[in-house]
A and B are shown apart, each in its own frame.
Chain A
Amino acid sequence: NAGVTQTPKFRILKIGQSMTLQCTQDMNHNYMYWYRQDPGMGLKLIYYSVGAGITDKGEVPNGYNVSRSTTEDFPLRLELAAPSQTSVYFCASRAEGSSGYTFGSGTRLTVV
């Protein structure tokens, strides 16, 4: 099992550009999440999904959008990139019930 796969691993964007961060899981988990982690800080929830077709905002959703058309995929879209979006982005999934999160390896994004 691959677990949670994120692409790309690194990306440099110019201010105002857009991009999509891809996230795929092969564990048939219903719950999926996007977090961002700034240097030396904890994880801030951007968006999450409890199943295909259902998404909801987290703590810091501004400047981002998500979709969940299948159980496996949960892409994160950045529109009009800003330097404040420079961060490491982690996608995670979990099964229902008392289970922990499985994180992807992260995408390191720099906006210049």
Chain B
Amino acid sequence: QQPVQSPQAVILREGEDAVINCSSSKALYSVHWYRQKHGEAPVFLMILLKGGEQKGHEKISASFNEKKQQSSLYLTASQLSYSGTYFCGTEYKTNAGKSTFGDGTTLTVKP
């Protein structure tokens, strides 16, 4: 079952913050996040396992709320290089090792 990402698109000015959400209707085992630039392959950012942990990668961090079956990606003090499409991939307890991806959130950071 495909996770639902919101919003579909975000436009920011440099230095502003953004939050991207990834929700599932099934019990999650893990959530992983990727950024894809136009015409390139997705690049792994971070993975979160059940337990509500939060992880960070430069000024990008994420949380995993097991009760809500939701993960959020936080981008703080955005830079031009953050522009791209962000995907979450989810693994379910019944099917660990096989991920389903959301349709992506396009982030545009303007000067």
Footprint of B on A, CB under 8 Å? 31, 33, 35, 41-45, 48, 50, 56, 58-59, 90, 98-106
Contact = CB atoms under 8 A, between A and B. Distances in A.
Given A100-B32, A101-B32, A42 B101 contact: yes
B102 A42 contact: yes
Interface of B: 2, 30, 32, 34, 40-47, 49, 87, 89, 97-104
Contact of A42 (B43, B97, B103): B103
Contact of B44 (A31, A48, A100): A100
Lowest 4 CB-CB distances: which A-B pairs, in order? Answer: A100-B44, A103-B41, A42-B103, A43-B101
Nearest to A56: B98
Contacts of A99: 47
A104 B47 contact: no
Contacts of A59: 100
A101 to B, nearest CB: 6
A100 B32 CA distance: 7
B47 A45 contact: no
Contacts of A90: 41-42
Given A41-B103, A48-B98, A101 B87 contact: no
A105 B47 contact: no
B30 A98 contact: yes
A35 to B, nearest CB: 8
13 contacts: A33-B99, A41-B103, A41-B104, A42-B102, A43-B42, A45-B99, A50-B97, A98-B49, A100-B45, A101-B99, A102-B44, A103-B43, A105-B40
Given A100-B32, A100-B34, A42 B98 contact: no
Given A42-B87, A106-B41, A58 B98 contact: yes
B85 to A, nearest CB: 9
